[in-house]
Structure 1
């Protein structure tokens, strides 16, 4: 038998008295003499195994210090070669060690284009494995911001506000965030291609405007920037707590007024507009919880009048309300109607003729 390996059998003459193994041979003693049997067999038929290999990647033109690295295991390591497609072998028959990285330093400053490297790894028994990697050299460019925040407003007393950006670049380096007028608030710190960069805004900033600027840099010192404005202020509209209902006034009225009451933590101004005419009151300041009153001009003509109030606060929040005032004609019984001036004149004329006739009859009697 072989040791190690698969047993090998060979006929010998007569009866064997003993077997002796040494190296690749078995020595058999029989009645006729000594038989020598070669029993060497191939002991390894397993290819080397790559346990860590680089992925395809891109670098900017002008790069330096780029390496390719593979990690391979095999009980009987032998040699490896690395070939560049279109150029030929760039590393020839180098020894390698089981589990120890094989590293190739790519020449600096290759021209723009694609470079395909193939590694071939062998062991002592001519088993082998190979791997291919594509290196792309591209025109340099700034990191690209693919997700950025919009300007936004928060109420005083906010908590837990954060700002986040996502940028891409094959060679990310560092970023820095600054609050304009105050200086750096975060970084320089490392960032990762396609991963969010998040800044947590301190709680309790005072009412005002805060402009944050991020600068994102890659390994070749190309920089891209973005700014976002955070407003700390009131985002709630004023609330009208008391509003007039639509109402009617008789023609010839006097002393009619309209009143509203509104509330807001930061009241600013109000206006009152008459539909078809424009603003008839304001802009004037108002106070939270204090009524504002508009005195309607006396004796408006018969018709409908729509008055709209607009309350605003210090942060351009607003609320409006509209009330309809109807001016109507008045009949002789005091009820609203549609008796015209001509009808009034005719009625008075008839009454006058009757009174005149009565007076004449009284004179004739005397």
Structure 2
């Protein structure tokens, strides 16, 4: 009987404070060999600090860091076989692009031929081959970001840490580089940990996603599981491609309806959760002929109607929050008067299978 290999990276009870503020709270995470893991969360949730602790640049206040089954918490950054792409580009201004990328390859004691091959491969992947002889001061912000990414790629460390790697990359290049990064990861053994605030980016690229909220990991799962079964409202917001709504219910006996300012909400199911979430794309406008047997029913005037590309979003004012619904193009002409008249209550339906149910311990996130 063979023993299974140890996790490539394991964090055990990591905590970190800055100025008495908890940045990471008893964070535990296991990353499998050759896994592409996205760490997803809003700005300030602790994502970058997590990478700095793995790289050895910042010591944890509590907990340990393990790589390949070895406790490396006290090991110097140079001896960890870890590369880190910083959010700031960190290029040497007195060296041209080629030389900056070479430094990444040289960090791994590669031969001259291997070094040249790595520089060419990395430059080609991120689309900067024509820029190899330029100095950093002649590059745009997006070009500098791609050079920094190429530098991290050229190193080929066992653990690759990417801090918002595509944040300044032009939109027309972003999808292409996402695909190239995943292919590169698959061709070169090792773990990639990719920090991002972009849920779509994480969903496209990662084998699994770890969602951080307020210094804690609230869910780790495949993109498909996170989208279909988010554990908390924070997870639902993070991975939704359209606006995500969360509605809190009263816990009074037999309470099946509530009013949020001008929005009337009726729950048609038997058991009442503490809160439900639903995406704007799943909130369907009803006509007078439609009847409702189950799910969630909203009745409200529309505060605003906005068009984004070919999509039309209706905004319902619910006091201290707004609810969003997607209006199909064929209903815009049919119901435009109702949608634009604040005196008219429009009806919206969310099917049971499109509702995300949350209980008390998860609602406040």
Higher relative contact order (CA 8 A, sep 6+): 2
Q: TM over 0.5: same fold?
A: no
**In proportion to residue count, which structure has more helix?**
2
**Higher Cα Rg: structure 1 or 2?**
1
TM-score when normalising by structure 1: 0.22
